[in-house]
Amino acid sequence: MATKEQIKDSAFYCFAHYGYEGTTMQDIASAVGLKKQSLYAHFGSKEELYRAVMKEQYRQIALELYDAYINLKEKPVEELLKGLFMKYAEIFSDRRRLLLWKRAAIHLGSGDTKHLSSDAWPVEYSFMEELHKTIREPHPTLEDPAVFQTFIASYQLMIQGYLEWMLVKGHDNEIWKAVWTSFWRGAMSCLCAN
């Protein structure tokens, strides 16, 4: 008999490949080698299974990023942010994982994702608080909330843009370096100008 973990693994593949709307419980049952009715003994609905898969993925990603942060936090801010950017590229180099998150953004929308972070929230909150403090210390300009918010938004948009690139083209180290260099030069020119 299939375990919950095997079911979630098969569901991960199906949701990444077909999206939430395109995946049926029958697809998942076939992938794991069960009858559809047997899935309901483990998960009451497709939505419940989907949320279980997404929560697990969210938690894994949050922990991987936090581990990277712990290893990088004593480095200069440039190396820290560059290392985290590389970690994002590494995490999402698994095309299925990247597809799952892109499809999740469409399915869940921005207002329905809070439940995903509940298991990872203590790690994520601690990580983000520490990261923000680490970034602000050497750059007093970032004490201004508006400047800091713009800096963080730019960093996040750079990451999202590169992940979009990866979805189409895959990871390219030269492009990655060029994107990072462009971001960092722009960020430094703004921080030094203020």
Q: Can you give the residue ranges of every domain in the chain?
A: 1-44, 58-193
Q: What is the pLDDT of residue 102?
A: 84
88-131 tens-digit pLDDT: 999 999 999 999 888 877 766 544 445 554 554 445 556 778 88
CA nearest to 188, candidates 156, 146, 142: 142
Output the pLDDT for position 42: 93
Burial, 50: exposed, middle or buried (Cβ in 10 Å; 0-12, 13-18, 19+)?
A: buried
Q: How far is CA 173 from CA 16, 26, 86, 165, in A?
A: 25, 40, 10, 12
Q: Is 58-193 a domain of CATH 1.10.860?
A: no
**pLDDT of 193:** 62
Both tokens assigned to 65: 């990023």
pTM attached to this predicted model:
0.82
* Class of residue 99 by CB neighbours under 10 A (exposed 0-12, middle 13-18, buried 19+): middle
Residues 93, 131: Cα–Cα separation, whole Å: 23
Q: Which CATH superfamily is domain 1-44 in?
A: Homeodomain-like (1.10.10.60)
Distance, in Å, from the CA atom of 187 to the CA atom of 193, rounded to the nearest integer, reads 10
